[in-house]
Amino acid sequence: MAKKPRIAIIGAGIAGIYAARTLYQNGFDNVIIFEASDRIGGRIWSMKHGDDWIELGAQWIHGQEENILYEYACSRGLIANPKHDYGVEGNGHLCNENGEAIECPLAKKLINYLDETKNRMNDAIENDQNVFDYFVYQFNQFVQSLTDIIDITTLKILKNTFRWFIIYEVIDNSCENLQTLSALSYTEWEDCSGETDLIHFQKNYSTIFDEFEKDFPLNDCLLLETEVKKIELIHNNSDIQVKLHIFRDEIEDEEMLFDHIIITSSIGFLKENLKNDFFSFDFPEEKRQIIQAIGFGTINKVFLEFDIPFWNDQVKGFQIVWTNVRDEHSFPDINFACGTENFPEWVYCIQGFDLVRHQPKMLMAWIGSYGAKQMEKYSDQEIGQILTKVLRQIVPKQCLKKSIDYPTNIFCSRWYSNPFFRGSYSNRTTVYQKINNDDDHDGYNIDILVKPIYANDEHKKPLILFAGEATDPKHYSTTHGAMKSGEREAFRLICFHQKR
């Protein structure tokens, strides 16, 4: 290797920082990480509150075996005991907007049945079904399998419970709705098996970056509040370099040249910036198509802290089964009008309220679909007022130990409004699936995005490389997928220069 190449990394999330760490540990120390915001972490965002933390972004490590993040964090002693301290989703009472607990045993059986059918999602691909239609079919199969004839009231409860399950899956997949979600989001995605699926950090998620800083001089190569505005390809004699136009310190158009760049920006950011001259060269059309086809939705969290918890010690959460809502998530033959007379539309995209680890006075609402974007237009105070009314309406009396007062603190994520994210994480859409079945493409669609943009020379020099959670073929939507993608692109450059 004659001289050390100059490498730029766009984005200081886990993909970008781990790419820089991998490069540095292999002798490539001429690296600059550009981060547009005032913090590192990307969609990992731990916020100190009181004596502990809350996670505004990534919540858990998903699985253990062959999980690069789990293995690294475990080796540094960052992991909570997975046998005793682990995450639980969708826990607690099923309740409706009349403050009634859903005591129907078939409702829980339906949820378990639908959840189990996710293991048979290949059937949806074979039958060319979207995920919503697949679950409607499975709902009907469940009802038909019941030995006893169910009454109209019970059937309505099951159909309303079906909508709760759909909202749960919409949030889990970070999508707008399940009608546009491909079953590939289940069949391509691989679990990292182990005794626990949802794993906590002992302290907070961001401790992973503290450990990275021990491995290499992160601060020496990091530029915060430095936005890359445009990418150009520059021909210098026999070589091609990448010119970045950046904005920092009120300097509108500073220019910097690099031999390679690794883009770790979110798919939401890339979608948004395909519309302008961010890529100021002939950007490959097949990459453009894949970026547009990959799904990238928004989920948000709302944390409500109360002076004194109003719920009793037996409560594990409140999951909302709305009975008065008709929207794209409802069972097809539900005839209710949307219940917007009581609350703004976005409220009906809340899955429920969960307890918050190490924050005994706090509840957290998960919100997805169209509601996640709409919610971001409201102030924290407005959100707090609305959700206080929601809680007063949905919480069963037997769960109360006092009246429900207005929360003392409110914290909200707003991932869609942030121009550097424009959403939360990726999924596989029906459009993506259609392209994947196109005879013109070989292999996975994601391979088209992952393939670098090369210089047209005899060395096939990789100029622009792509990383980030959406680029991992099996672990997209996860932090370990993002971390693995950063390592993958770092080693691509390392191998290229070792062969020269």
Which residues lie closer than 8 Å to 298 by C-beta, 6 or more apart? 174, 368, 372, 373, 415, 416, 423, 424
Mean pLDDT computed over 245-253:
85
- 314 and 168 in a common domain: yes
* CATH code, domain carrying 340: 3.90.660.10
pLDDT for the residue numbered 396: 97
Report the CATH number that the domain containing residue 228 is assigned in CATH: 3.50.50.60
Domain-embedded: residue 421? no
pLDDT at 251: 75
User: Model confidence at 74, in pLDDT bands (50, 70, 90)?
Assistant: very high
Asked if the model's pLDDT at residue 236 lies above 60, the reply is: yes
- Verify that 167 and 258 share a domain, yes or no: no
Better-scored residue on pLDDT, 89 or 480: 480
Shared domain check, 261 and 238: yes
Residue 82: inside a domain, yes or no? no
1 inside domain: no
> Same structural domain for residues 207 and 232?
yes
In a shared domain, residues 186 and 311? yes
Tens of pLDDT, residue by residue over 180-210, are: 999 999 999 999 999 889 999 999 999 999 9
Provide the residue type at 41 as one letter. Answer: G
Inside any domain, residue 317: yes
pLDDT on residue 268: 98
Residue 441 belongs to domain spanning: 7-44+203-295+426-499
Decide if 384 is inside a domain. yes
Q: Is residue 417, in this structure, part of any structural domain at all?
A: no
At 85, list the tokens. Answer: 């301290």
Query: Do 167 and 308 fall within a single domain?
Result: yes
* 124 and 191 inside one domain: yes
One domain, residues 352 and 335: yes
Same domain, 469 and 378: no
Give the pTM.
0.95
Q: Say whether both 387 and 359 belong to one domain.
A: yes
Mean residue pLDDT of the chain comes to: 94
Q: Which of 178, 77, 96, 91 is nearest to 137 (CA)?
A: 178
In the predicted model, what is the mean pLDDT of residues 406-421? 98
- Please tell me the least confidently modeled range out of 319-328, 392-401, 448-457: 448-457
Helices 14-25 and 479-499 pack at an angle, to 10 degrees, of 30
pLDDT score, position 437: 63
284 in a structural domain? yes
Amino acid present at 394: I
**Residue 219 pLDDT exceeds 80:** yes
Judge whether residue 339 has pLDDT over 80.
Answer: no
Dihedral (Cα; 468, 470, 474, 477), 10-degree rounding: 90
Whether residues 160 and 186 share a domain: the answer is yes
Q: How many domains does the chain have?
A: 2
One domain, residues 319 and 397? yes
Q: Which residue, of 412, 444, 459, is where some domain finishes?
A: 412
pLDDT at 414 over 80: yes
116 phi, psi to nearest 5 deg:
-65, -35
